[in-house]
Amino acid sequence: MGGVSKDGGAWPCVETHRFAMLLSMRIESGATMSCHLICIDPAQAHEFWPHVASLMKAAMEKGRLSSYADVEHAVRNGTALLWLAWNGERIKAAAVTELTYANGEKFCTIVACGGHERSQWLPLIAGLEAYGRTQGCAAMRIYGRRGWRKLLREYRTTRVLLEKELTRGSRVPGAAQ
């Protein structure tokens, strides 16, 4: 494992890979099931994306907040990180984070998240938060549907997305979705 970012520094994921693995936060569910949080080295993201593409696409189509193609491109070119919830046998969930800046502050943002059997992997968000802290982020942000609010009680609503439908079937023909 290793890698160098476009600016010559080590990839944040590579720097914190051991940290993420140590933090992996075993989640006990039933007798033997546990999930681990795994940060995928950006140099290997192309190998893992096909295994999570359906999870990501389904979640993003349901949420309608960003473009699946844009998120896939960001993961594949290393400007976003791919995280897996792995139970030792299969991928239970995947998330994508980006580090962003606004008004002089740095944020770790979950831009996409999808999976199955949420109770087995939702507590792994603590690992993403820990990663954000190690990167000097002021806060963790989530772009998601309203239902996340009920599940993540430590999070508060700080912004609102207002939307008004202008036409029925307003998807742009031929546009990448």
**Average pLDDT for 95-100:** 94
- Between CA 17 and CA 38 the distance in angstroms is 8
Residue 24 has pLDDT above 50, yes or no: no
Mapped onto helix, strand or coil, the DSSP state of residue 4 is strand
pLDDT one-digit tens code per residue, 107-144: 999 999 999 888 888 889 999 999 999 999 999 988 77
- Between CA 146 and CA 170 the distance in angstroms is 22
Burial of 123: CB neighbours in 10 Å, binned 0-12, 13-18, 19+: middle
pTM, to two decimals? 0.73
For the domain spanning 12-147, the CATH number is 3.40.630.30
pLDDT one-digit tens code per residue, 48-65: 999 999 998 988 777 676
Cβ atoms within 10 Å, residue 81? 25
- Between CA 27 and CA 50 the distance in angstroms is 25
**Average pLDDT for 72-84:** 95
Domain ranges of the chain: 12-147
